[in-house]
Each structure stands twice: as C-alpha cells, then as structure tokens.
Structure 1
Amino acid sequence: MPARPGARHAAGRHTAAVIGGGIAGLAAATALAERGVQVTLYEREPYLGGRAGGWPTRLRDGSTVTMSRGFHAFFRQYYNLRGLLRRTDPALAALTGLPDYPLLHADGLRDSFRHVPRTPPWSALGFVALSPTFRLRDLRAMKPAPALPLLDIRVPDVYHRLDDTSAYDFLEAIGFPAQARHLAFEVFSRSFFADPRQLSAAEMALMFHIYFLGSAEGLLFDVPRSPYPAALWQPLASYLDRHRAEVRTASTVEHVEPTPAGLFEVTGDGTTRRYDAVVLALDAAGLRSLVARSDRLGDRTWRERVAHLRSAPPFLVTRLWLDRSVDPDRPGFLGTSGFGGLDNISVLNRWEDEAARWAARTGGSVVELHAYAADARVPRTVQEQQLIQQLHRVYPETREAEVVDVRHEWREDCPLFPVGGYADRPTVRTPDPGLVVAGDVVRTDLPVALMERAATTGFQAANALLERWGLHGQTLWTVPDRGRVPVLRKAAAWAGHRAT
C-alpha cells in the first residue's frame, strides 16, 4: 500500500523499534511505517491500545465478551488521535456521538453541556449562565483578577505560572463556587485520576482552554460503537502489517543498549535485535523500569528526570452484567460527584454493539462504574462493594437486579501530574538523537492532554526521527496555542502585569 500523501519513503530502509503498543506507540509506528521505515512494535500485553485496549473474557452464562479498563471519551478536539483512526476509518464510522455530558451531584444538583454554546467565549459564559450551580451570590463572591490568566492560556507559559499551585488551591484563590467546582472542574481533575489537591493547576487550566476557550467543539464527544479492539486497534494493526511493520504483542522488552556505532540493541523474549532508532512509548512506571534496567541510555540528568516520574493513585473499573435493564431514560454516560468513590456510570448497551447484543439476548444490561483516585488505605473488596451500593443509590432500579457476572479491574499506571512536577517530565527528544519518548506523561509545547497528548507526542517522536533521515513528518493539528479572543487576552495580560 502506498504511503499517505506527502510521505516519501526512506532510502535504505531505516529501522526503528517502538516499545509500547498504546496510542503513543501506535501513532509513532504508523508515521514511521508510512514513510518506509522498517518498524518493529513491541507490546508486553497480548492486545494493543494500552489503557484503551481490551481483551476477551468468558462470563458465567457462557458468553464470551470483551473486557477493558473502562470508558474513554473521544473528544472532538482530539484532532491527531482522530487523524490516526482515520487511517483505517476515514469517516470515523466506528465512533458514535453521545448527546450530552450530564453531571449529577449527590445533593440533587445537575449540570449539562448539551445546550452550552460552543463558540468561545460564549462557551464558558454560556455554561455559567445555564448551570444551576452558579448562583448570583456565588458570582459576586468570586475574585476575577486571579482567574484572568485562564483567559489566555499558552504552553509552556501556563506551567511557569501555575505548575507550583494545586488545582484545589487555584480554585480556592478565585473563590470558585464549591458546588460548581465539584460538578465542573473536578471533571477535569478526575480525568487525570488524581485528587485536585495533588494535581497541578496548570493541567486543569490547560483543559479549560482546550474545551472552553480554545475550540468550538465544547465537551461533545464520541465513543466506539464496538469494543476497542474491533473498532480501533485490530484495523490499525492490519494497516501496519500492510506497511510491512512487525507487531509483536505479548512481547516484553527487558533491555535497550546503545552501541558505539550509534545503533540500539533491543532485548526482548530472549532475543536481541539492532535498530537505527528507538521510541519509548511506555507508561510512567514502565518507562522508569526500562530506563533503570538500561543503564547506558541517556545521560545522568535525563535518567534522574525519568526516575522522578510518579503514577497517579489506583483506580477501579467495575463492570456488571445485570439480569434486567436500567430505566430507559438513563443516559449512556453520567458523571457523578458526592457519591462516595463513584465518579461515573456508563450503560454500555446504549452504544456498544457487543453489549447491546448481550442485553437484547438476555433482557439485561451492561453497566460500568468508575472510581478514580481510589483510597489505597481501604481494602479493595470494600471499595468494590461500596461502588455497587452507590450505583443502587443513583439508579435505584438496579437494587433488584441479579448480577449475572462482574469484573473488577484495579490499575495504577496512569501518570500523575503533581504540583511542581512539570520540570521533571521528559520531553520527546532525549540526549541521544536516535532515542525519543512518547506518551501522555511526556512534556510538549502543544496544547494537548490525555489521549490526544499520547497521539501527538507519538507523532512528534516519529517526526524527530524522520527529520534526522531527511524525511517529511506528520502534520499536527491542535487548538490554538493561546486564547482566541483578543479582548480576553488583553485582560489576562493586564492581570499578569498587575501580578508582577
């Protein structure tokens, strides 16, 4: 299959090892393979997709279904991730949009983004005007001057200004209403699997820019119509195969060694191969571990930076196969606050075909619960039961349902973006031009986050190698790298001058 338009094949077939088959690794492997680089992709799990992957499991009723690590929202500002998916699905027909991003607080307050205008700055103003959590007296109590930097977010400037402040302290400083904070801004902080007291305010502010003042897509998002492997990653694996890339799942890399000739020896599964370049597309713990085992990679400063990376607290995904359906008016996705550790509820059979077929055949439903930043001091079995109890509180009809089967997935491999941690995060480029890093933990000067940061840095890693070899790289798209409204930028600049 020919390379994508604008790509030029490498002369002499340069070779590259991409270590990690999540979104970042798949993006890097795709961009390299399209340009004729001979790619070997190593993934320790038996499936691709990383934290958005999936694997088969058999239920007690004999059904074989696909389990995953939980719900992911494919926001429409994820331009580079969506570009990766368009390689095999140009119309993105494998995705379907959910009509709303509803939020529910335990005190009965509800918020919605469905009717919020999507054009900046009316998107932010519209949310305030339409939200029941913003009362007139709350708005009067807010301190506008400390909030003005939100109106002109730039990368990396936002990190220099806000990285030493927690998301919680920043919202306290501006007097953000407590009820609105729980429903609105905690959506952003919990997306990072972190308590707002641990999360850098810079990351939260960047999210505000991406979704409210930097784009016209708002908080509308899509979800895959089928489980992640069938909808997304199996087609992409076939695409890589057609570009002569070797995809090695269930293959753990134990060691990477630079050679005097400027090559890299990659050892995995008892064999060692040599490559011209290496992409490290691992989660924070995996990157720390591999670099610690590969003691000649990089220099001392870079290795120390990698060693400082931390993982976010553990999170729990509970998926229930119930013998009866939930009420028909329940949304496909609901964000929650104030219900113990429960952060959201998904009714998978509302959009995923495999779950819908199971529900239609059994008369039941498939419901998924998330608990982000779980308390490591509480026994896991206790938290699992508490999560189900909170489901009964939010959706009372589930109290009478019998559980046909259940899966509890505990993970602790999401990156933590702690207060003051920006300086220690690795960049795409390393001291060795043949070694690059990609992933959502990687520092980049583009306004991206979460899955989009993974895809973007994957392409950036490929571009850094292609540049060495004189080849055209992947064009990247992002929301604007600064506020879009001139009058708001002037207000933010005025606040900055006042602060100094």
Structure 2
Amino acid sequence: MNQQEAHPPVPTSDTSLPRKVAIFGGGLAGLAAAQSLSAKGMQVDLYEARPRLGGRASSFIDQTTGEQIDNCQHVAMGCCTNFFHFCKQAGIGSHFRRLETLHFVDQQGRRSELKNGPWPAPFHLTGSFLRMRHFRWRERGQIALAMRQLMSTPTSDLCFEDWLNQQQQSDRVLRDFWHVILVSALSESLDRIPYSAARQVFVQGFLSHRDAWKVSLPTVPLHELYGETLQTHLQEQGVTLHLQSRIKELTTQGNSIKNVVMANEEQVSADAYVLATPWTAIPKLFPTVEPPPRFIQQAEQLESAPISSVHLWFNRSLSDETHAVLLGRVSQWIFNRSAIQNIENPERHYYQIVISQSRELSSWSQDEIVQHVLKEIASVWPESMMQAQLVHSRVVREHHAVFSIPPDAESDRPDQVTEYENLLLAGDWTETGWPATMEGAVRSGYLAAEKLLQVWGIPARILQPDLPRSGFINHLGLIRG
C-alpha cells in the first residue's frame, strides 16, 4: 500500500442493499456522520466509550449543589450553518437562546454593546463599533484600517500576531479587541493563530452577514442537549447505539480494514468504518502498522489548547444580564447560568466564567483562580458583589479541550479519506476549512458521510452552504477570496 497517498473507498456497482457502517466516537463528528448516513438508508452502528453521547460536550453532577454542570460553556455563532442544521434535524434546535446584543466591560468598568444597526453587511456593526467607549478614536481608526486590509487580503504566510504588528496595531488594541474575540473563537493566543483562521473568524463571522456574529447558548445542560431526545431520534432513524463500548484497535489487511477489535475483545465487521475519536487516540489504534500512514503522522503533529471554567454559586443574583465579555482580564466571559437555563433557586445563583487558552493558569491552585476571578467579577458588578456571599465554587480544567495547529502546519490537517479504502476520519481536527469548533466537528461528519456515499454511487450533498454574503458586498467586491 502506498501510505503517502490517500484514496477513497473502492466503489461497487450494487447499491440495492443498505451498507453497514460502523462509527466509533459519539461526539458531534460521529453523531453528524451517523445522522446523515442513516438518513440515506445506511445501516449504522455507533460505538461510544462513555455511557452517554456528546463527546467533549459533557456534563457532570456537582456533589455539593446536586446540579448538572457543563465541562465548558458551549456557544455557536450564527455562521455555524452545519451545526444548526444538525440540531434541527436531530430535534434539539429549540434548546438554544440567541443573543441579539453582546455586552463588553473594560477594566475601568465602562460598558459597550455590540448589536446590529440598520445598514447592510459589512457595515451593520459600524454604529456599535463607533460607540465602543474603551477605544480612542485613533485606536478605532487602527482597527478599521486593519479590518479593511483583512477583507482585501485572502492569504498571508504570517501568524496573525505578526500580521497585526505589520498593520501597526497598538498593544491595547491587540489586547482588548483582536485577542478578546479570537481567544474566545479559537482558544489560542495571537502568536499561535494562523492568518487564515483569524481572517475567517472576522470575515465569515462578523462582516459577511448581519446574523453571522450572533451567539447562541444552550438553555439546557449538555447532557440533556445530547441526551434522550437525540438518542431517540437516532434510534428511530435506524442507528444502533453501543454505549460504554471502547475501541481497542483496527486490524488491517492490505489496503483495507479487516475488522475492529473492541476493548472486550469483540470483533466488529462492516462495509466501511468511520473513526470519530479524538486525534490523540488515532495512533494508539494502529499499534502494529509500520510505517504509520500519513493520516497518523498528521494526527501526531497536532497539539492541544486548554480551557478552564470557574463555576460559582452565590446566595443572591448579581445581575439579570445573561453574560458579560471582559476586556483586559484573565476572565473572558461571564455566563449567568441561572438566567440562561431558567434555574429557579432563591438560595443559589449560578455563574460560569470561561477562560480559553488557559495555559498561564497551569501553576495556579484552584483557590488562587477562584479568588482572582472573584476580584474581576467585583469590577463588573461592584454593588452586587458587596452584598453577595459565595456559597460554593468549582474549577474545571480541560487540558486537551481543543486541538491546536501551529501556523506553519495549518495546511497539514488530515482529510476524511484515508489510505485505507474502507476507512474514513471525522473530527474537527480533520480538514474542514474551519477551526476547532462545534461547526468544524459537524462539518467533518457530514464530509465523511458525503465522500463515502459518493463512492458507493449515492451522490448526496450533505454539507450545508455558508450564510450568503450580502448583496452590497458582492456588488462592490468588498471581500476578496
């Protein structure tokens, strides 16, 4: 087998019988593949090592409060067309709340709002931008010029921090504008973000469409979002679920997969296999294959970025606001979980603080993190914090929350098609054209399903189109590429 060139599964002429597909991994990528393949009549078995679906999108019970808490606050922007398509198909689309306004608070406590004005994209946010109280007019000019350059420059070999320095952005603009948006979207520091990923966030997420930037939040814990309703939908569509079923290794035969051996030594056979596991697990599933195929080498070069969440319960409400975006602080987002999820408990009011790309916290104790976050919250809601009492706190650290790709390796993500003719990959870490997001995960599952069906003679367009650029942009040619 030529291990340097991936090729699609071998097509066969008989398409009258449903093909059996075994999918390993019950996160969003595996779920999207299972949903789309079963909808096309395939016989799908979905194997998940945990006792629940959702993968990294998980919840657990806090023993002190008895409440379900999420490992991290998951959000989706309006530009995530495939993620919302999946949720609608699976019957869970109603479990989201869309924010029409984002609230920003700087270090001096000055508040600004991001919301649409009356103008078409890309000028729909101009009014909010001009009213941002934490930037001087000179700094707003810096941002506007760099944004215009982003729109007209499709590619650059520089990391985004170097590109911004080339655009003469001040330190405060770097910290309070570019960093605060990109660390939330990509969970990485500016020096580790490729230009292409950063440009996509701003062009596709803020400039191309009036609704692209609008953030949606789950109104239920993640275990419920990806729980009974989703499981019932998949089962009614013919998907056989195998929970608490851990994959051990894949047995190869020439340039194909012979079968899959599970942790209990059960052997699983299918016409095709989809690996939707974390990238860190991929090399371990081929212990005897030498030299390793190209897709394994690509998975091994991926790194990870941590995300930390601080969960706080107070004896009274701090604010009726659902959230706040914090500038110039360690804390980045405050989410009022009691308000978002309509939790009614007069004795406990629940807030979650998210810190993406939290490498600097690795040496901090949990108490140090909590005390630092409390001081930062006091600068946002000072009067409420003077009267509130902390009832309980908990810090959750996800050390491998998302994959991270150094800028010089951005183009080296593995395709969904592998060197083995009946094996495909799915995961946000595969080549989707998107960064490490829920949208990227669903796209990878749709792409894997689409490519598999194509070679089986079942042409299907599963991947959903992006939000259309405004006619104003197209007419004037404001965005290149």
TM tier, shorter chain? Answer: 0.7 to 0.9
Cα distance in 2, alignment partners of residues 101 and 10 from structure 1 = 50
Describe the SS at the equivalent of 2:67.
Answer: strand
Query: Are 2:250 and 1:284 equivalent residues in the alignment?
Result: no
Query: Are 2:305 and 1:305 equivalent residues in the alignment?
Result: no
Query: Does the CA contact (< 8 Å) of 2:116 and 2:210 recur in 1?
Result: no
- The Cα of 1:399 is off from its aligned counterpart by 5.3
Candidates 349, 360, 376, aligned match of 1:365? 349
Candidates 242, 247, 267, aligned match of 1:248? 242
Cα distance in 2, alignment partners of residues 380 and 433 from structure 1 = 49
Query: Are 2:331 and 1:322 equivalent residues in the alignment?
Result: no
Question: Partner of 1:496 in structure 2?
Answer: none
Alignment-mate amino acid for residue 52 of structure 1: A
Query: Does the CA contact (< 8 Å) of 1:283 and 1:415 recur in 2?
Result: no
Question: Partner of 1:199 in structure 2?
Answer: 193
Question: Partner of 1:174 in structure 2?
Answer: 167
Residues 117 and 174 of structure 1: CA distance in aligned 2, closer, same or farther (over 3 Å) = farther
Question: Partner of 1:497 in structure 2?
Answer: none
Taking the TM superposition and a 5 Å limit, the aligned residue runs for 1:399-414 are 400-413=387-400, 414=402
Residues 327 and 400 of structure 1: CA distance in aligned 2, closer, same or farther (over 3 Å) = same
Q: Deviations over 1:368-388 (max 9, x none)?
A: 111212215523423344233
Query: Are 2:421 and 1:419 equivalent residues in the alignment?
Result: no
Query: Are 2:270 and 1:275 equivalent residues in the alignment?
Result: yes
Cα distance in 1, alignment partners of residues 285 and 476 from structure 2 = 45
Question: Partner of 1:183 in structure 2?
Answer: 176
Candidates 414, 427, 432, aligned match of 2:420? 432
Query: Are 2:340 and 1:333 equivalent residues in the alignment?
Result: no
Question: Partner of 1:13 in structure 2?
Answer: 18
Query: Does the CA contact (< 8 Å) of 2:183 and 2:189 recur in 1?
Result: yes
Cα distance in 1, alignment partners of residues 81 and 15 from structure 2 = 26
Question: Partner of 1:378 in structure 2?
Answer: 363
- The Cα of 1:131 is off from its aligned counterpart by 2.8
Query: Are 2:463 and 1:468 equivalent residues in the alignment?
Result: no
Candidates 192, 213, 221, aligned match of 2:207? 213
Residues 327 and 262 of structure 1: CA distance in aligned 2, closer, same or farther (over 3 Å) = closer
Query: Does the CA contact (< 8 Å) of 1:167 and 1:196 recur in 2?
Result: yes
Query: Does the CA contact (< 8 Å) of 1:104 and 1:334 recur in 2?
Result: yes
Cα distance in 2, alignment partners of residues 98 and 274 from structure 1 = 46
Question: Partner of 2:331 in structure 1?
Answer: 342
Cα distance in 1, alignment partners of residues 20 and 232 from structure 2 = 19
- The Cα of 1:266 is off from its aligned counterpart by 1.6
Q: How many residues align?
A: 461
Alignment-mate amino acid for residue 121 of structure 2: P
Q: Deviations over 1:79-103 (max 9, x none)?
A: 111111112438x322222342222
Alignment-mate amino acid for residue 409 of structure 2: G
Residues 150 and 251 of structure 1: CA distance in aligned 2, closer, same or farther (over 3 Å) = same
Query: Does the CA contact (< 8 Å) of 1:168 and 1:196 recur in 2?
Result: yes
Candidates 331, 351, 362, aligned match of 2:340? 351
Alignment-mate amino acid for residue 465 of structure 1: L
- The Cα of 1:350 is off from its aligned counterpart by 0.9
Where do 5+ consecutive residues of structure 2 fail to align? 1-13
Cα distance in 1, alignment partners of residues 147 and 115 from structure 2 = 25
Query: Are 2:213 and 1:227 equivalent residues in the alignment?
Result: no
Question: Partner of 1:392 in structure 2?
Answer: 378
Cα distance in 2, alignment partners of residues 488 and 139 from structure 1 = 23
- The Cα of 1:235 is off from its aligned counterpart by 1.3
Question: Partner of 1:459 in structure 2?
Answer: 446
Residues 51 and 400 of structure 1: CA distance in aligned 2, closer, same or farther (over 3 Å) = farther
- The Cα of 1:346 is off from its aligned counterpart by 0.6
Cα distance in 2, alignment partners of residues 203 and 47 from structure 1 = 31
Cα distance in 1, alignment partners of residues 292 and 62 from structure 2 = 47
Scaled by the length of structure 1, the TM-score of the pair is 0.83
Cα distance in 2, alignment partners of residues 391 and 215 from structure 1 = 33
Where do 5+ consecutive residues of structure 1 fail to align? 1-8, 494-500
Residues 133 and 368 of structure 1: CA distance in aligned 2, closer, same or farther (over 3 Å) = same
Question: Partner of 1:114 in structure 2?
Answer: 115
Query: Does the CA contact (< 8 Å) of 1:207 and 1:449 recur in 2?
Result: no
Alignment-mate amino acid for residue 150 of structure 2: L
Q: Deviations over 1:440-459 (max 9, x none)?
A: 222234x6762111111110
- The Cα of 1:255 is off from its aligned counterpart by 0.9
- The Cα of 1:10 is off from its aligned counterpart by 6.1
Describe the SS at the equivalent of 1:216.
Answer: coil
Describe the SS at the equivalent of 1:251.
Answer: coil
Residues 222 and 324 of structure 1: CA distance in aligned 2, closer, same or farther (over 3 Å) = same
Q: Deviations over 1:184-209 (max 9, x none)?
A: 32212332221112221221111111
